[in-house]
Amino acid sequence: MTQEFINPSDGVVRQYLATSKTIAVVGLSDREETTSNRVTKEMQARGYTIVPVNPKLAGSEVLGEKAYASLAEIPFPVDIVNVYRRSEFLPDVARDFLKADARIFWAQLGLESLEAAEILRAGGCDDIVMNRCIKREHTRLILEQ
């Protein structure tokens, strides 16, 4: 039997978005044409504090915010870790997540990994969303309510 990842209910996801203020974005690009940049810029415009996480951009600024090489290097707590890395990299990001002061693991639309979910749950994190666009969910569950 193949297991599949099941996302939390809309009510839980709405609560995540409504109570969160800071989003660390793993794989955020500084190129404006990328999905990660466009979606993150929109979430920033909607009032979230953005924390870029990209080893290639560490120390520079993306969308006006200092970029970090890894989640563990962020010196303050973050609410949501929004991931723009291919699914095969999600287990590694999950391990980094567990070293950080973060609450919710969110993999963007098209990204999912049972292994990452197992790593997160084994590390004590049950707040996991995968294969969902944070901007679309915010629009649907917060703005359209």
Q: What domains can be seen in the chain, in order of their start residue?
A: 10-143 (3.40.50.720)
pLDDT, mean of residues 50-55: 97
Cβ pair 48, 21 in contact under 8 A? yes
Does the pLDDT at position 1 exceed 60?
no
Cβ pair 50, 63 in contact under 8 A? yes
Cβ pair 16, 137 in contact under 8 A? no
Give the residues across from 78 on adjacent strands. Answer: 102
pLDDT, mean of residues 14-33: 97
Tell me the pLDDT tens digit for each residue of 102-133: 999 999 999 999 999 999 999 999 999 999 99
Question: What is the pLDDT, as a whole number, of residue 121?
Answer: 96
Cβ pair 130, 7 in contact under 8 A? yes
pLDDT, mean of residues 61-86: 97
Question: What is the pLDDT, as a whole number, of residue 4?
Answer: 80
Q: Which amino acid is at 139?
A: T
Distance (Å) of CA 131 to CA 5, 22, 47, 93, 112: 10, 20, 23, 15, 6
Question: What is the pLDDT, as a whole number, of residue 117?
Answer: 97
**How confident is residue 98, by pLDDT bands cut at 50, 70 and 90?**
very high
